[in-house]
Amino acid sequence: MQQNVKIAAVLLVLSAVQPAFGQDKADVAAGAEVYATNCSPCHGERLANSGGVPDLRALKPDEKAKFDAIVTDGRGGQMPPWEGVLTPEQINQVWAYIRSVAD
Ligand code: HEC
């Protein structure tokens, strides 16, 4: 009896966290696609950097603001600005993808 109550409690907790977890996975999957289409030619397939451009896996979790600014505005003439090409949501999805690989 006690055991059943425990199992029920565990199932309840699992079903509560599931939606958030599912959304994260959806963002990571969408970000992987945005990355593969737009970023991988320079930054390397699946974030595996070939040298010459910054390795995006080296970005720290607290560097989201820096990431947003550089991706939106571009940098140094070689990193193109993505404002108007990618939506802020797509840029967030690429960040979710990078974090899923880097962390
Ligand atoms: C045409 C090649 C090219 C493409 C395409 C490209 N980048 Fe870059 N990126 C660069 C180069 C070169 C730099 C280094 C710029 C500099 O600092 O002078 C850079 C720098 C960056 C940086 C700064 C990294 C750091 O640690 O300083 C970020 C973040 C970044 N790119 C993200 C992206 C994302 C996300 C995409 C896809 C939406 C993308 N880049 C597409 C060439 C590219």
Which atom of ligand 1 is found nearest the CA of 41?
5
Mean pLDDT on 70-80: 96
- CATH number for position 93: 1.10.760.10
The verdict on the CB of residue 53 being under 6 Å from ligand 1 is yes
Output the CA 11–ligand 1 centroid distance in Å.
43
Place of tokens 């079903």: 15
86 — phi, psi (to 5°)?
Answer: -105, 145
Class of residue 67 by CB neighbours under 10 A (exposed 0-12, middle 13-18, buried 19+) = middle
Nearest CA to 71 out of 62, 60, 82, 57 is that of: 82
Domain that holds residue 87: 2-102
Total structural domains within the chain: 1
**Tens-digit pLDDT profile for residues 17-55:** 555 667 899 999 999 999 999 999 999 999 998 778 999
The verdict on the CB of residue 39 being under 6 Å from ligand 1 is yes
The verdict on the CB of residue 70 being under 6 Å from ligand 1 is yes
